[in-house]
Amino acid sequence: MALMFSCLQYMIDVRLNLVLNMVIDFVTYNTDNAAESKSGAYLFIPKMPGEVMALPSTPNIQIIRGPLVQEITVHTPLVNHTVRLHRYPMLFTSMRMFLRQSTGTKGFILNVSHTLLV
């Protein structure tokens, strides 16, 4: 049985007492057969609806902390997902995702939503 987990669940700004709830899903979409597909490198035409990928309940997590950058990477069999926090006069967040193996005729999307709690 595969369990679901969310890679990043929230970020806290302790100086401003703010919480940013995050939901990150890895979603796959079926496409037509490769020979019949009009989807390509610059055009993605999915067959709806998408399916949230089942990821392991205990992923391998790597954390790097430095004076200017903090980074957390979640390694799973299909996806590596990295969230990087940069310390400038303001906080800057960047995310990157690496798909480790082909999904065949499936398209792959990183879906991010967030809610700011004051």
pLDDT tens by residue, 75-90? 877 777 787 877 766 6
pLDDT at 97: 65
Residue 4: DSSP 8-state:
-
pTM: 0.58
CA-based torsion, 35, 41, 42, 44: positive or negative: positive
Distance CA 28, CA 50 (A): 6
Q: Are 48 and 106 in contact (CB under 8 A)?
A: no
Q: Using one digit for the tens of pLDDT, what is the confidence trace for 7-54?
A: 667 777 777 787 877 777 777 777 666 555 565 566 666 667 777 777
Q: Which residues of 52-86 are buried (b: 16+ CB within 10 A; e: fewer)?
A: ebebeeebeeeeeeeeeeebbbbebebbbbbbeee
pLDDT at 1: 28
Distance CA 74, CA 64 (A): 12
CA 108 → CA 20, 34, 51, 86, distances in Å? 25, 15, 10, 27
